[in-house]
Structure 1
Amino acid sequence: MNAIFYISITLATFIAMEGITWLTHKYVMHGFLWYLHEDHHKPNGHLFEKNDAFFLIFAIPSWLCIMLGLQHQQYIAAAIGFGIAMYGLAYFLVHDVIIHQRFKWFTRSNNVYVRTIRWAHKMHHKHINKEHGESFGMLYVAKKYWEKVQADKRRNVF
């Protein structure tokens, strides 16, 4: 197989991870593992949260796919692992750095996409309990949030 094939698998995995993340967030984090995710909706002021354990839930399969895929020359598995890892990096940058600003690398942005994902996430966090949630994704943002931010932009709200 050629490099384009494995790059395609990596990119397809990255894209699929948005759906997997949405499903995991809605049905696992806001379901039977709420006790780990709850402190993300009810911050306690600490740098780390129990919610950070979800990093391992995604990092371990990624690491195993990469390691075992490379060791056993199963490059499709390695490509899947790299796709998961790339999504993990994107998740960290978008969710922890841009949205929640846990690290003060980017504190202000007038970029419409950044403002839209921040607004959608704010709407997700207006629900402090596991019920009645909305906007469970991370990179893909529903049309209603785009429309709200575009309307604010037209009114020069930002």
Structure 2
Amino acid sequence: LEFWARWAHRALWHASLWHMHESHHRAREGPFELNDVFAITNAVPAIALLSYGFFHRGLLPGLCFGAGLGITLFGMAYMFVHDGLVHRRFPVGPIANVPYFQRVAAAHQIHHMDKFEGVPYGLFMGP
């Protein structure tokens, strides 16, 4: 899912959906920003896949459940690291002291600097 997130971030959020994503690159006023809508758009297919997989039997429903679970877990990890650790929207506890996550946070801060034109676009794999 990191590859999807990197592609969507560069090709969609920093292009045709910039009018929504731009709120993430400005100082936030209040607890939410328009960019938070992207979390909802990712939750919809995850919920649909989980529901189909939970209420039906067979290989395809099992695969759908697994895909929905993967999207959900990636989304939770992304929110925890990106929103909590990097942008400090909520406390993350001792994860802030893990060297790998400190490097992830530093790489994402580079993304917010204008002189690099948005690079890097990913989160967990860095630049």
TM over 0.5: yes
What displacement does 1:107 show? 8.4
Detail structure 1 runs of 4+ shifted over 6 Å in the superposition: none
Q: Does residue 76 of the first structure (1) align with residue 63 of the second (2)? A: yes
The aligned counterpart of 1:153 is: none
Q: How does 1:125-144 map to 2 (within 5 A)?
A: 125-127=112-114, 132-142=117-127
What displacement does 1:70 show? 1.7
Kept in 2, the 8 Å contact 1:30–1:37? The answer is: yes
| The one of 62, 78, 91 aligned to 2:78 | 91
Q: How many corresponding residue pairs?
A: 124
For the aligned residue pairs, the C-alpha RMSD in angstroms reads 2.0
Kept in 1, the 8 Å contact 2:95–2:101? The answer is: no
Which runs of no fewer than 5 residues in structure 1 stay unpaired?
1-16, 143-158
Q: How does the TM-score come out when normalised to structure 1?
A: 0.72
Tell me the distance in 2 between the aligned counterparts of 1:83 and 1:99.
22
What SS does the corresponding residue of 2:82 show, helix, strand or coil? helix
Kept in 2, the 8 Å contact 1:135–1:141? The answer is: yes
Which of 1 and 2 has higher RCO (CA within 8 Å, sep 6+)? 1
Which runs of no fewer than 5 residues in structure 2 stay unpaired?
none
Q: How does the TM-score come out when normalised to structure 2?
A: 0.89
Q: Does residue 114 of the first structure (1) align with residue 98 of the second (2)? A: no
Identity %: 31
